Structure 1
Amino acid sequence: MILVFGKTGQVAREIARADPAALCAGRERVDLIDPRACHDLILQMQPAAVINAAAHTAVDRAEGEADLAHTINAEAPAAMARACAALGVPLVQISTDYVFDGAGSAPFAPDHPPAPLGVYGRTKLKGEDGVRAAGGVHAILRTSWVFSAHGSNFVRTMLRLGAERDSLRVVADQIGGPTPASAIARACLTIAQALRDDPRASGTYHFSGAPDVSWADFARAIMAQAGLDCRIIDIPTTDYPTPARRPLNSRLDCAGLARLGLQRPEWQPALAQVIRELKEAT
């Protein structure tokens, strides 16, 4: 049995869909604000592997909730990792492109020095450090721009606004890889098995959708696939100020995935599937 921390988030829901035998633990069972409870649940359940798909992901809100974000994003994963190390089972920890500062235009390799711009990135980086420090079998999977048919994400926001407005101003100088939550879920399950088969595969990996694109061009693709007549107007990040700074360059070097038998997922077919799923639900 695979134990998943998270139940209603985008990736956790897709893991449950991909592997109905996985036990997805939501807040009603264990809350990441109590890292010790996370540790103890692992010892109690004695799973074959653990996937942490839960986090404080509200990037702007985290700027005013630094202590809470640190507990959820840093202390809880470290506690999970210590329990997994004690049992000798692998942990897959989902992380983020926000551990980098977004400088330059080259894709960030897994060993590139981190330099987060805000609380969210700093606390996720501390979570990575805690997982590594536990000394157990693990994979840290950094991803970016997650989307699906559920939860709060850019695709759903664009579809809603695109149906209401004739035009939208969207940031065009932030570049990254939109990543389907369904692909992340499958990757996590694949990695969990790979770590069980070969603990030497432990390490840090990057997993983002291809091709890299700006938010504005991603928005255009969303409108086109949904058949919405909404014009996208390019704007710079400076015209859309937010409490948390965003990296301009979120490109991730995903070459290391080959070691696990994985490759970057194409986001266009996944986007079409998400749009179909949302239309069927209305």
Structure 2
Amino acid sequence: MSILVFGRTGQLARELAAQGDVTCLGRDQADLSDPEACAGAIRQAKPQAVINAAAYTAVDKAEEEEALATVINGAAPGAMAQACADLNIPFVTVSTDYVFDGSGQAPWQPGDATAPLNAYGRSKLAGEQAVRAAGGAYAILRTSWVVSAHGNNFVKTMLRLGRERDHLTIIADQTGAPTPARDIAAACLVMAQQLMTDPGKPGTYHFAGAPQTSWAGFAREIFAQANVDCTVEDIPTAAYPTPAARPLNSRLDCTSLETVFGIPQPDWRMGLTEILKDLGELA
């Protein structure tokens, strides 16, 4: 199988490279700030499917660089999707819970109205709209709170801070679920493979870990599994202001993904155990 992946060093791209028969393109080969170059890379490679695992992910910095974020997260996926539609091959791209405003308590359905609170969310929503406009056999996979043993993420930050301090204050009123990049990679590969044989499954889907928790709850589980002696104090989002507003409700309803593609929600606690093993924290 020939699957072209945009991204090489990010959390998701590294997991895709470890799991699938894929060709990963780094920024030196396909810079997402040049959408037409990305489309050209697809036309030249003529793969069986394309997965976009690259993105502008600096949420707070995007408040100052919204135009650049919108090219990378909006125009580039749209150009990729158009090239794939022209070649009649599947295109899978990853989006985010940040396209929603975080109101209410109910898990977000794929068809719910979007209203992003920040520039990053707006840039990802622009990408979704561009992909849908291109048509073809596409799949948009919204996910949340991505973690792995690679790059900078919440797990690594908590391990470092938890060993430096005996007490941390962590936000407890943002509710969602961590999602291991390893599980997202596996889901993307399954979706791409199924779309090759059944292109009648295009659409927007949700994929997140279970059960739901808060950032404070996630931190407690990290410390418990890694045997780090650090207490966690719950604080509200208002006590930790950031340049970009974060949604309070990041719960995602993942029913349609399992119904259409047979992909169940992963238990993020098991994924955390694997991450800690990869980091050498567990035997």
TM-score interval, smaller chain: over 0.9
Q: Distance in 2 between matches of 1:52 and 1:270?
A: 22
> Which residues of 2 match residues 104-183 of structure 1 at below 5 A?
104-183=104-183
* Aligned partner of residue 11 in structure 1, secondary structure: helix
Q: Which amino acid letter does the alignment assign opposite residue 217 of structure 2?
A: D
Say whether the 8 Å CA contact 2:226–2:281 is kept in structure 1.
no
Q: Distance in 2 between matches of 1:154 and 1:180?
A: 11
Q: Distance in 2 between matches of 1:29 and 1:181?
A: 23
Equivalent residue, structure 2, for 1:82: 82
Alignment of 1:65 with 2:65, yes or no, is yes
**1:111-140 residue CA offsets vs partner (Å, 9 max, x unmatched):** 000000010000100000000000111000
Q: Which amino acid letter does the alignment assign opposite residue 11 of structure 1?
A: L
- Structure 1 residue 30, shift from structure 2 partner: 1.0
Please provide the CA RMSD for this pair.
0.9
**1:137-173 residue CA offsets vs partner (Å, 9 max, x unmatched):** 1000000000000111111110111111111100000
Equivalent residue, structure 2, for 1:241: 241
Q: Which amino acid letter does the alignment assign opposite residue 271 of structure 2?
A: A
- Structure 1 residue 177, shift from structure 2 partner: 1.1
- Structure 1 residue 275, shift from structure 2 partner: 0.7
Q: Which amino acid letter does the alignment assign opposite residue 216 of structure 2?
A: A
Equivalent residue, structure 2, for 1:18: 19
Q: Which amino acid letter does the alignment assign opposite residue 209 of structure 1?
A: G
- TM-score w.r.t. structure 2 length? 0.98
Structure 1, unaligned runs of 5 or more:
none
**1:196-252 residue CA offsets vs partner (Å, 9 max, x unmatched):** 111111110000000010000000000000000001110000000000000000000
Say whether the 8 Å CA contact 2:172–2:236 is kept in structure 1.
yes
Q: Distance in 2 between matches of 1:194 and 1:98?
A: 27
Equivalent residue, structure 2, for 1:195: 195
Q: Distance in 2 between matches of 1:47 and 1:29?
A: 16
Q: Distance in 1 between matches of 2:195 and 2:234?
A: 43
Structure 2, unaligned runs of 5 or more:
none
Q: Distance in 2 between matches of 1:129 and 1:22?
A: 26
Equivalent residue, structure 2, for 1:5: 6
Q: Distance in 2 between matches of 1:263 and 1:232?
A: 31
- Structure 1 residue 194, shift from structure 2 partner: 1.1
Q: Distance in 2 between matches of 1:18 and 1:280?
A: 22
* Aligned partner of residue 51 in structure 1, secondary structure: strand
Say whether the 8 Å CA contact 2:4–2:22 is kept in structure 1.
yes
Q: Distance in 2 between matches of 1:209 and 1:133?
A: 29
Equivalent residue, structure 1, for 2:278: 277
- Structure 1 residue 280, shift from structure 2 partner: 6.6
- TM-score w.r.t. structure 1 length? 0.98
Alignment of 1:266 with 2:258, yes or no, is no
- Structure 1 residue 279, shift from structure 2 partner: 1.4
Q: Distance in 1 between matches of 2:15 and 2:169?
A: 31
Q: Tell me which stretches of 4 or more aligned residues in structure 1 moved more than 6 Å.
A: none
* Aligned partner of residue 127 in structure 2, secondary structure: helix
Say whether the 8 Å CA contact 2:11–2:147 is kept in structure 1.
yes
Q: Distance in 2 between matches of 1:129 and 1:78?
A: 8
Q: Distance in 2 between matches of 1:137 and 1:241?
A: 40
Say whether the 8 Å CA contact 2:53–2:94 is kept in structure 1.
yes
**1:26-59 residue CA offsets vs partner (Å, 9 max, x unmatched):** 1121110110100000000000000000000110
* Aligned partner of residue 204 in structure 2, secondary structure: strand
Q: Distance in 2 between matches of 1:229 and 1:8?
A: 32
Q: Which amino acid letter does the alignment assign opposite residue 8 of structure 2?
A: K
* Aligned partner of residue 107 in structure 1, secondary structure: coil
Q: Which amino acid letter does the alignment assign opposite residue 163 of structure 1?
A: R
Say whether the 8 Å CA contact 2:5–2:23 is kept in structure 1.
yes
Q: Distance in 1 between matches of 2:96 and 2:281?
A: 31
